[in-house]
Chains A and B, each alone.
Chain A
Amino acid sequence: NAGVTQTPKFQVLKTGQSMTLQCAQDMNHEYMSWYRQDPGMGLRLIHYSVGAGITDQGEVPNGYNVSRSTTEDFPLRLLSAAPSQTSVYFCASSYGVPGLSNQPQHFGDGTRLSIL
């Protein structure tokens, strides 16, 4: 009964390094998304995908890339880490697009990322 699985749970990077946050779901959800959560700000959408092969930008996409080669996986790539990307990252999935349906989003446990 895995749901949404994110790895790693914690990561410390140096400025300029790149890395990939992994996200996988086993619920056959079409919609997947990445959020970041920062103190004093609500969850902000980075990128999202409405199905395999389809991705689109959210509210704060700069500095991040995504791909969706399979329904299950939606990795988030930091191209060149910057201190401003220090945050908690959540991956989420749902049956329908949250903006178009009332289906709940299921979140992963989060990745706490620090950029030095």
Chain B
Amino acid sequence: RKEVEQDPGPFNVPEGATVAFNCTYSNSASQSFFWYRQDCRKEPKLLMSVYSSGNEDGRFTAQLNRASQYISLLIRDSKLSDSATYLCVVKAFNAGNNRKLIWGLGTSLAVNP
């Protein structure tokens, strides 16, 4: 089982739709979680951190479910400009008990007019 797994999609949604992605992680000791956004042939950019109590930034809501070991990203009122790949990043521990970041493969979102 991969340490961080995401549904690759693609998710095709119309403008204005609400869409949600999940990301599961295998290490129950994982500490911090992030969502990055990567446009086609561009670099990743931090979208938001994910806090234990859940957090919201405009149309974006991130939630953490530690019991089921997943994080989610909800996008409301989708815009064409939301089309991108959304990368889940988890801070966990490696074999030497050192912290490391583990990147998911990403979920592709296409918002259609």
Does B59 lie at the interface of the complex (its beta carbon under 8 Å from any beta carbon of A)? no
Q: Give a binary string over B31-72; 1 marks a CB under 8 Å from any A CB, 0 the rest.
A: 010100000011111100100000000000000000000000
Residues of the B chain whose Cβ atoms lie less than 8 Å from the Cβ of A100: 99
Does A34 lie at the interface of the complex (its beta carbon under 8 Å from any beta carbon of B)? no
Q: Are B103 and A42 in contact (CB under 8 A)?
A: yes
Does A2 lie at the interface of the complex (its beta carbon under 8 Å from any beta carbon of B)? no
Does B102 lie at the interface of the complex (its beta carbon under 8 Å from any beta carbon of A)? yes
Query: Which positions 21-43 of chain A face chain B at CB distance < 8 Å?
Result: 40-43
Q: Are A105 and B46 in contact (CB under 8 A)?
A: yes
Contacting chain B: which of A60-68, A69-77, A79-87, A106-114? A106-114
Residues of the B chain whose Cβ atoms lie less than 8 Å from the Cβ of A107: 43-45
Residues of the B chain whose Cβ atoms lie less than 8 Å from the Cβ of A110: 41-43
Residue of A nearest to B32 (CB): A102
Name the distance in Å between A30's Cβ and chain B's nearest Cβ: 16
